Structure 1
Amino acid sequence: MESLPLLEPTLHQLFIFVTVLTRVSGMLATAPMFGSSYAPMKVKAFLAVTISMMITGLFWGEKFPTPDHWMSYLVVLGGELFIGISFGLGVRILFAGVQITGQMLGQIGGLSVADVFNPAFDDNVPMLSVLFDMVVVAMFFCLGGHRFMIGALLSTFADVPPGVGLASPEVVDVLVMTLSKSFMLGVQAAAPGTVALMIGILVMGLISRTLPQLNLIAVGFSLNSMLLMLFVFLTVGAMGWLFQDQLEPTVTSIREMVVNRHVMFPK
């Protein structure tokens, strides 16, 4: 049944608001901290609705093609959701590199049994992974990463208005490349500590062969703990610099792929 003429402007504005809300919600649902269980659901919903209302006001008088079938609505909302998820998931993948660093140092340093529950991942993770994750999250907010990520998403509305285009599938290639960078980031940050701990284990093995009467358990654990603490402090600083160098290029690449290679819906 066709809608009444008086309701057409209201329905069109509602369509704009829903599409904007879908794009913003996709990012907030997958972005670090925003998409984890740390943030209350009411706060995330309020933030998504508030941002969407401000953006909707910019397109209040614009006329965009409105889908005439419910399947077309689903395609439009799916495209908006994909754009938002791309931004949040790209940054979250970088945070996964922090987990790799803590996992490597924890396993070699003898802290594999000291796993703690991390509600952000809903699983038990090494204690060092939680430490590095908290440090990177703090640095993420101190450097204004949350503003940069939200600003990059909001800037896409200027080139890809709500309900008009669909992000190119090549965004998936950017996310895959980000995953490889995240793995390299984790390995690079953990490499010095991993090598030092392995050398320490090798040295203690040689000493035990030379001096069998030495209490290897007491000396080995002490040396291993000192090396681990030393390189944990060094790795925290290195992780901050590596994460800072990768954050901006990742978000910028996703934005350029969304803006420059999006697919327009037929009018």
Structure 2
Amino acid sequence: MEPYATAEQVWAGGLIFARVGAVMMMLPGIGESYVPPRVRLSLALLLALVLWPLVGGTLPALPPTLGGMAGWIIREVLTGLAIGAILRSFMTALTTAGEIVSVQTTLGFAQTANPLEAQPGSTLSAFLMLLGVTLIFATDTHHLFIAGLLGSYEAIAPAKPLIAGDFAALAVRTLGQSFMLGVQLAAPVLVFALIFNLASGLVARVMPAFQVYFAAAPLSVILGLSIFALSLGVMGTVFIDRYRAAARVFAGGALG
């Protein structure tokens, strides 16, 4: 490698690649199982080369021992995985909203393969997850991921101690916000289900001989999905705004 790059340069590039590659494994859309590993590795290598002139001054010198090198690499991989996991965990808001809507419209039994989670899930959850990933790339929110990688070297510089406590607090706060957002996104269908079930109960009390279930079940599906479709634009707008705000935490180097 000496004719092309010095040992210090190879070390710096490899250290950046360790963090960037770990983040690429977890990001929504890029880190999915259907994306070929070569594509992720190529993108991570390209970003590492781009970030090298910008963050090279914050990297530690080449350790004299193999154990020191392994320790730094493991530290950067763990940092990248933590950043990617936090950014990915906010997507659970769409899963929560989809599951709530499925239960309230009696479609919870409708299962399909979710390509973003590599496991079966409700059809509406899979649809909302795909919608969320599409909105991320359609609104250029993925540009904030690159800015977040650069900002992470200011907030979580390799030469500084690893702030595991701040990572844990941010992860807990992000999961709490994502769950609350999921309930808020499904609020129109929740309100409809509450009113509809109360009305069905009153009809059953007034007319005990009337088969309420056979009349209410189709209406619950049709009206619930209609309200879900009408509120879909607002759901997408609110979600992408909240997600951009969450991504700016890293883009602005404001962690901790």
TM-score bracket, normalised by the shorter chain, equals 0.7 to 0.9
Q: Distance in 2 between matches of 1:82 and 1:59?
A: 18
3-state DSSP class of the match of 2:113?
strand
1:223 to 219, 234, 237: 219
**2:147 is the alignment partner of 1:151:** yes
Say whether the 8 Å CA contact 2:99–2:125 is kept in structure 1.
yes
AA paired with 1:91?
A: L
Gaps of 5+ in 1: 1-5, 262-267
> Could you say which residue in structure 2 is the equivalent of 1:264?
none
Say whether the 8 Å CA contact 1:26–1:85 is kept in structure 2.
yes
Matches within 5 A, 1:1-267: 10-56=6-52, 64-157=60-153, 163-169=158-164, 170-254=166-250, 256-258=253-255
Q: Distance in 2 between matches of 1:108 and 1:89?
A: 29
Could you tell me how far 1:59 is from its partner in structure 2?
6.5
3-state DSSP class of the match of 1:113?
coil
Deviates more, 1:46-55 or 1:247-256: 247-256
Cα distance, 1:254–1:53 mapped onto 2, change above 3 Å: closer
Could you tell me how far 1:62 is from its partner in structure 2?
9.2
Q: Distance in 1 between matches of 2:57 and 2:123?
A: 53
Cα distance, 1:78–1:239 mapped onto 2, change above 3 Å: farther
Deviates more, 1:208-217 or 1:141-150: 208-217
Say whether the 8 Å CA contact 1:135–1:236 is kept in structure 2.
no
3-state DSSP class of the match of 1:32?
coil
Q: Distance in 2 between matches of 1:234 and 1:52?
A: 43
Say whether the 8 Å CA contact 2:90–2:175 is kept in structure 1.
yes
AA paired with 2:27?
A: A
Deviates more, 1:235-244 or 1:107-116: 235-244
Q: Distance in 1 between matches of 2:59 and 2:211?
A: 80
Say whether the 8 Å CA contact 2:22–2:80 is kept in structure 1.
yes
The CA deviation string for residues 21-66 of structure 1, in whole angstroms up to 9 with x for no partner, is 0111111111111111131111111111122123335577998422
Q: Distance in 1 between matches of 2:23 and 2:213?
A: 49
Q: Distance in 2 between matches of 1:207 and 1:61?
A: 72
Deviates more, 1:141-150 or 1:62-71: 62-71
Q: Distance in 2 between matches of 1:155 and 1:138?
A: 24
AA paired with 1:94?
A: F
Q: CA RMSD in A?
A: 2.6
Q: Alignment length, in residue pairs?
A: 252
Say whether the 8 Å CA contact 1:28–1:44 is kept in structure 2.
yes
TM-score, normalised relative to structure 2: 0.87
Cα distance, 1:19–1:93 mapped onto 2, change above 3 Å: same
Deviates more, 1:212-221 or 1:193-202: 212-221
Cα distance, 1:127–1:206 mapped onto 2, change above 3 Å: same
Q: Distance in 2 between matches of 1:156 and 1:232?
A: 38
Say whether the 8 Å CA contact 2:98–2:122 is kept in structure 1.
yes
Q: Distance in 1 between matches of 2:200 and 2:206?
A: 10
Q: Distance in 1 between matches of 2:177 and 2:232?
A: 18
Among the aligned pairs, what percent are the same residue? 24
Gaps of 5+ in 2: none
